[in-house]
A and B are shown apart, each in its own frame.
Chain A
Amino acid sequence: MYVLTLPVLRKMLHTAAIDLKNNVQYLCELDGVAGDGDHGIAIGHIADILRTHADDITVATMNLLLEGIGDACMAVNAGSSGPLWGTIFAGMADGIDDQQELTDIEFKRMFAQAKEDFMDVSKAKEGDKTLVDAFYPAVAAIAETEGSLETILAAAAEAAQKGADATADMVAKFGRAKNVGERSIGHKDPGAVSMAIFFAGLAKGIKE
């Protein structure tokens, strides 16, 4: 069974944080189409949290690391992204025991639990033009793909990217963007795009 260690998880989160931070301006511009142009600001805060926590080597277990990120995201006072991402990280922490390495089965369970916890707080479905359009396909790819963790995460990143791309053709049915209705067609959902950047960052980080 492939094993994910705490240092590798740190590297994955660290890499994702840097990629998210580099896209703050782009995410703001994307959000300016149907929202109020501040998605990148919230993601910038989340990226800072990811990086600080990932780099803090005093945190001894994966569970504590993910829980810490979840709590910090919940305290981000910048719109839905904080609580939504916070729910995902808290869910990942929920899905594993207090341990320092994960088998591939445990790795899959961690993401499955994140989705379950997320469904508890958000009624958004795939096709509603939200971060769910990237997040759920990524979790599904993690569940279905066999092979090394690199292979699994590459599949997740690809699924998330495909999902985010597909949001361009969707009409927003959720969040603030739903108020602009058809005007949102032709532009990708910023929440789905940032989620795809996150999974791409994880996939990149595990290879480094």
Chain B
Amino acid sequence: MKKFINDPENLTAELLEGLALSNSDIVSLEDGNLVVNKKLKDADRVTIVTLGGTGHEPAISGFVGEGMIDISVAGNIFAAPGPQSCVEAIKMADKGHGVLFVVLNHAGDMLTGNLTMKQVKKLGINVAKVVTQEDVANAPRSNADDRRGLVGCIPLYKIAGAAAAQGKSLEEVAAIAQRFADNMATIAVACVGATHPATGMEIAHIEDGMMEVGMGQHGEGGGGSMPMKSADETAVIMMDALLKDLDVKSGEKLMVIINGSGATTLMEQLIVYRKCHKYLAEKGIEVVASHVGELLTVQETAGFQMFIARMDDELTKLWNAPCRTPYYRN
């Protein structure tokens, strides 16, 4: 393993420190691995809390700030935080309008999410939980509880954050977030696995000349292994899977995100995006929102996640609303 790190035990603490120091006008780092929006103290609206493991930078703590996440509770590398820190975060975040609690569908995150909900209910805090579970590769839509949450959480934070900034009620913010979540789909591909930065262990092994479609967030398998293909061929295989899953028809409007997994260049991501855009145009599908770049990575994994979401005018407006976070600004 060749990584510029210090003691592997301190990876999370040191990366969060770096994030807070380099964005001291936007976020602060609080006890319990909480990354907090500096504007939270003056907020008079619904607030947004989320949790997740580290090692996926800029996700998720890089999206704390105005118009997105108010508090992100960081766990350890690829590992969820415990419920204690989440309960503290929700208590800190609640400004009397309730808290939207976004949880990605991974075993540890969900367990912590459920234990947290139990405790905050006891405390009488008004919390609505939205789960992101949009990986089309590991379970059919009818079995959504088994679907992993991938990059879709990031645009969801953006949309929910914008809805909260407009002063909508918790019920409204949660309904918008849920509508977006219900209409999104992601598929991942990888061609070179990564190593776990703390253990040095290979977290996914992909044979030379092969790629794996349907790779999970941490390099877990689950999809199809196939010989390496060109950008255009790969883009079409993946887009077809997404369109089929969401049953997208000609005339519909989509958001498209190509999210680099860590070692795939922006050059490659842009080449893939270009094919997606043109392929959709041929089908009479309009792209009304898009992003290409690294939002949620898996160390030095070579590959990307392709994300689509069915958009309407309200969702598009919320996506385009201003925001200011360390790694996404409008």
Residue ranges of A at the interface with B (Cβ–Cβ < 8 Å): 28-29, 32, 34-38, 40-42, 71, 73-80, 82-84, 86-87, 121-122, 174-181, 183
Knowing A32-B199, A75-B82, say if A180 contacts B221 (CB, 8 Å). yes
Given A28, A78, A175, which contacts B201 in the complex, CB threshold below 8 Å?
A28
Let me know if B111 and A38 touch, CB within 8 A: no
B222 at the interface (CB under 8 A from A): yes
Among B111, B112, B138, B198, the most chain A Cβ lie within 10 Å of the Cβ of: B111
CB distance from A189 to the nearest CB of B (A): 13
Let me know if B219 and A36 touch, CB within 8 A: yes
Let me know if B203 and A76 touch, CB within 8 A: no
Let me know if A38 and B148 touch, CB within 8 A: no
B84 at the interface (CB under 8 A from A): yes
CB distance from A72 to the nearest CB of B (A): 9
Let me know if A32 and B222 touch, CB within 8 A: no
Knowing A121-B115, A179-B220, A183-B221, say if A37 contacts B196 (CB, 8 Å). yes
CB distance from A80 to the nearest CB of B (A): 4
The total of chain B residues at the interface (CB under 8 A) is 39
A178: chain B residues at CB < 8 Å are 146
For B192-223 the 0/1 string (1 means CB < 8 A from A) is 00001011011100000000000010111110
Residue ranges of B at the interface with A (Cβ–Cβ < 8 Å): 12, 32-33, 53, 73-85, 106-108, 111-112, 114-115, 138, 146, 148, 196, 198-199, 201-203, 216, 218-222
Closest to A73 in B: B82
B146: chain A residues at CB < 8 Å are 178
| Cα–Cα, bound, A65→B229 (Å) | 58
Let me know if A36 and B82 touch, CB within 8 A: no
| Cα–Cα, bound, A121→B148 (Å) | 19
Let me know if A78 and B107 touch, CB within 8 A: no
A180: chain B residues at CB < 8 Å are 220-222
Let me know if A32 and B148 touch, CB within 8 A: no
Let me know if A38 and B82 touch, CB within 8 A: no
Among A73, A77, A78, A121, the most chain B Cβ lie within 10 Å of the Cβ of: A77
A38: chain B residues at CB < 8 Å are 76-79, 196, 198-199
The 9 A-B pairs at the shortest CB distance, nearest first, are namely A79-B79, A37-B201, A179-B220, A77-B81, A80-B108, A75-B84, A78-B76, A175-B107, A179-B222
B84: chain A residues at CB < 8 Å are 71, 74-75
B203: chain A residues at CB < 8 Å are 32, 36-37
Q: List 16 A-B contacts (CB under 8 A).
A: A34-B220, A36-B196, A36-B199, A36-B220, A37-B196, A38-B198, A74-B115, A77-B12, A77-B80, A77-B82, A79-B53, A80-B80, A175-B108, A179-B220, A179-B221, A180-B222
| Cα–Cα, bound, A55→B83 (Å) | 25
CB distance from A46 to the nearest CB of B (A): 11
Let me know if B83 and A83 touch, CB within 8 A: yes
B53: chain A residues at CB < 8 Å are 79
Let me know if A122 and B111 touch, CB within 8 A: yes
Let me know if A77 and B74 touch, CB within 8 A: yes
Among B53, B82, B107, B112, the most chain A Cβ lie within 10 Å of the Cβ of: B82
CB distance from B59 to the nearest CB of A (A): 16
Closest to B107 in A: A175
Knowing A32-B202, A38-B76, A86-B82, say if A176 contacts B222 (CB, 8 Å). no
Given B79, B85, B107, B222, which contacts A75 in the complex, CB threshold below 8 Å?
B85
B222: chain A residues at CB < 8 Å are 179-181
Let me know if B82 and A76 touch, CB within 8 A: yes
CB distance from B133 to the nearest CB of A (A): 13
Let me know if A179 and B138 touch, CB within 8 A: yes
B114: chain A residues at CB < 8 Å are 121
Knowing A77-B85, A176-B107, A180-B222, say if A41 contacts B112 (CB, 8 Å). no
